[in-house]
Structure 1
Amino acid sequence: MKRYLKIALAFLLLGAFFVPMGFAGEPSVSVGLASGVSNCTLKANSITFYDASGKQASFRGTVSVSAGGRNNIAVGGKTLALPVTVKSKGLLYLNGKPYRGIFRLVASSNSFTVVNELPIEDYLKGVLKIEVNPNWPMEALRAQAITARTYALAERGRHGSAGFDLCATDHCLPYRGVSAEDSRLTQAIESTRGMVLYYGGRPAATFFHSDSGGWTSNVQSVWGQDIPYLRSVQEPFEYQSPYSSWSLKISGDEIGRRLSRAGIDVGSVFEIRPAKFGPGGRVETVEIVGSRGRKTIKSHDLRMALGAKELKSTMFTVSADGQAPRVVKPAPKPSEPDGAQSQSSTLITLTREGAFTSEELLDMLLHPEKKEEYVQKALARRGGKALAPSTPESSSKKDPKLLWPQWEMPDESADRDTTGVARGTTFVFQGKGWGHGVGMCQWGAKAMAENGWSAEKIVKYYYPGTQLQKLY
């Protein structure tokens, strides 16, 4: 499960909490199964459609549904006005997959969205198998049921503008309907029926993840919000998971491209330094140096940019190989030959005017002996156009980092901590754990259950300060 959700956190902290009781006192939840579709098939032994105008249409077996223009659908030769409610006494099938509850078809531009509305306990039956192994200890399964129930209630309305509460992907909680049900998971859900973690009078933001690597994350270092019950805690028991050790090898060029797509433009990366560590050695911020500058970013943002399935967690170390660019140290003032001064001045002026491509700049970085060759090429491209004068006065009005890339600037931070610096052209991340690290660790909960902890004790450990209450 992935939670990269600043907006959701703000909603949880600021929004009011309301739970409709549409199923005999049990809260309901609506899940978007298929958004913006032009057609689908629905099936049931007996299926009835109720449209917005009060019209009804009943069918048996499989029926095709297609968009019929703005706010209308066509079903079995009949035109129905959206929104349309679809009911059956048994299971309802969408494109061959079974679901409990009812369907609602709501307008979406010139198409429609299929929404599954059902009691939250039935909803959980279609969620838990995507999150945990049914063969795990029962108390770990019960802990997952409590956290998933709490999370779903806290997140209700997240997709309200689209006509439903939650989506069926890991953006919210993965949901597969009846196809994902399992008897042991159903037992875990029923044995914790109505049990919800509260904080400040509303359901808590019970984020969870696969493997913490030994220490969970402080939510503030991941998404920025300060939530008292989402602080870093150490796993009380050692355990092994499929993610206890992993590695990622990636070039500095590729890191630069992926960072750029995420809005972090430092060019081709040649240096990475973990800048701040959290409890247990988890990396919280990293300093990235590339051909177009230097930035310090959250390690979570680096993970999202590189890919959460590749950089599996922020519990990592980083090393590098390949020829590393040279950071120029402060040197005594002039004693350059006139020719060298002239070349340096020309190079600075051309760089300031954007005469070189990023590839040329990087090549000069790695092969300083090619500078003269590229200067001549840049001058030739100018077609004899005179260079703008480079004077101390004009240069002083510019940020010196704009005159020449960062790697050629004097190292102004002589006292900069270089501990753990990885400098080169290819980087290797060695890590453990999987996920954002916030809240309950599923493999950690399994270890707790194996050591005799109850579900109630497990969730209280991961969400300290919350209150476990029975809602219904």
Structure 2
Amino acid sequence: MQKAASRILMILAMILLGLTLVSCSNPEQKPQVKGNKDDSQAYQTEPTISLYINETKQTEKIKLEKYLEGVVAAEMDPAWPQNSLAAQAILARTFTLKKIQDGGVKAYGTDASTSVEEFQAYDPSRINDRVRKAVRDTRGEVLTYQGAYINGWFFADGGGQTASSAVEGLEFRKEKAPYITSVKDPGETITEPENKSWTASFDLATVRKKVKETAGNDPGPVQSAAILEKGPSGRAMKVKINDVTLSAPALRLALGNDQMRSSLIDKFAIENGKLVIHGKGYGHGVGMSQWGARALAEQGKSAQEIVQYWFKDVELKKAWK
């Protein structure tokens, strides 16, 4: 009996040793540590992502490059020059991977969504052969700064000059973005008239409500409005409504970024019972101007040259083949 028991114990010990060796030979992959790696090496093959379809409230799995076709088609006119579409594809890919790395869309537990407010615009109905070619020709290409994905910000029109920092244009302070720099926007010569000069007016009751929601303080009946601070590119950074101070980018979002088209403004005043704002440009002004990308493409610049024009000290890398 003792010999039999000894043999059983020996067999059990050998099994446990074998299991230990197997688990050591196939260790679980540790989570990636941000800032201590080359993000462009994070994937060996093209990933499949989870996409929340806001219109149907369904989640679907989709190859990332296929998803990008819908983004490029929605974010830029599919009839624009081929290299401007390709530049948009590089930035959309970079933007997507950075957002996924930062946690995706937490509201749905997905990598991305089709909402422009939550992620990026997405419209597969606009995809054409030009868009497919733009995505295909830049397959896997991303922009990195010191090995990490950049925030691939883009906007419509910079009003002649892009923002000097993410803080100036977006009030973005979550992390440093030293690759953002102020450059001339060549799209000013070809952009639409409403981007060259626009005026918006807002009901004062609405302004009061939006300021209270944004700043957390009720300014009371609106009687005065002023620009308190401008950044190096001329964009308003801080404004004042009565005695309440708030960031201009935050107010723009609150009032509607299609109405207050940018923070590059030269008039911010109460007139005839309205808040009247006058400015130029369309969008936050941080990163790549889409009208500027079109202008550069028309000058014969490659997609790679276009994206590197807008961002300082960045590298183009291949995330997958």
* TM-score between both structures, scaled by the size of structure 2: 0.78
What is residue 458 of structure 1 aligned with on the other side? Answer: 306
Matched, 1:122 2:47: no
Match of 1:233 among 172, 183, 188: 183
Q: For residues 445 and 135 of structure 1, what CA distance do their matches in structure 2 show?
A: 14
The aligned amino acid for 2:293 is A
Match of 1:288 among 241, 260, 272: 241
What is residue 110 of structure 2 aligned with on the other side? Answer: 164
Q: Which of 1 and 2 has higher RCO (CA within 8 Å, sep 6+)?
A: 2
The aligned amino acid for 1:26 is E
Report if the CA contact (8 A) 1:125-1:180 is conserved: no
What is residue 183 of structure 1 aligned with on the other side? Answer: 129
- Point out the structure with the larger strand share: 1
What is residue 152 of structure 2 aligned with on the other side? Answer: 206
| Deviation (angstroms), 1:452 | 2.2
Q: For residues 245 and 15 of structure 1, what CA distance do their matches in structure 2 show?
A: 45
| Deviation (angstroms), 1:257 | 2.0
Question: Identity across aligned pairs (percent)?
Answer: 33
Q: Which consecutive residues of structure 2, in runs of 5 or more, have no partner in the other structure?
A: 1-32
**Deviations 1:415-463 (Å, cap 9, x if unpaired)?**
xxxxxxxxx7423211111112111111111111112222111111111
| Deviation (angstroms), 1:165 | 0.3
After superposition, the Cα gap between the structure-2 partners of 1:300 and 1:34, relative to the gap in structure 1 and judged at 3 Å, is closer
What is residue 289 of structure 2 aligned with on the other side? Answer: 441
After superposition, the Cα gap between the structure-2 partners of 1:14 and 1:313, relative to the gap in structure 1 and judged at 3 Å, is farther
What is residue 171 of structure 2 aligned with on the other side? Answer: 223
**Deviations 1:179-205 (Å, cap 9, x if unpaired)?**
232100111111111111012322211
The aligned amino acid for 2:62 is L
**Deviations 1:347-366 (Å, cap 9, x if unpaired)?**
xxxxxxxxxxxxxxxxxxxx
After superposition, the Cα gap between the structure-2 partners of 1:251 and 1:160, relative to the gap in structure 1 and judged at 3 Å, is closer
After superposition, the Cα gap between the structure-2 partners of 1:452 and 1:20, relative to the gap in structure 1 and judged at 3 Å, is closer
- Point out the structure with the larger helix share: 2
Report if the CA contact (8 A) 1:215-1:279 is conserved: no
Report if the CA contact (8 A) 2:43-2:319 is conserved: no
**Deviations 1:70-126 (Å, cap 9, x if unpaired)?**
xxxxxxxxxxxxxxxxxxxxxxxxx7xxxxxxxxxxxxxxxxx62221221111111
Q: Is the radius of gyration larger for structure 1 or structure 2?
A: 1
| Deviation (angstroms), 1:278 | 1.8
Q: RMSD of aligned C-alpha atoms?
A: 2.5
The aligned amino acid for 1:30 is S
Matched, 1:277 2:297: no
After superposition, the Cα gap between the structure-2 partners of 1:15 and 1:434, relative to the gap in structure 1 and judged at 3 Å, is farther
Q: For residues 141 and 196 of structure 2, what CA distance do their matches in structure 1 show?
A: 31
* TM-score between both structures, scaled by the size of structure 1: 0.54
Q: For residues 67 and 143 of structure 2, what CA distance do their matches in structure 1 show?
A: 18
Number of paired residues?
276
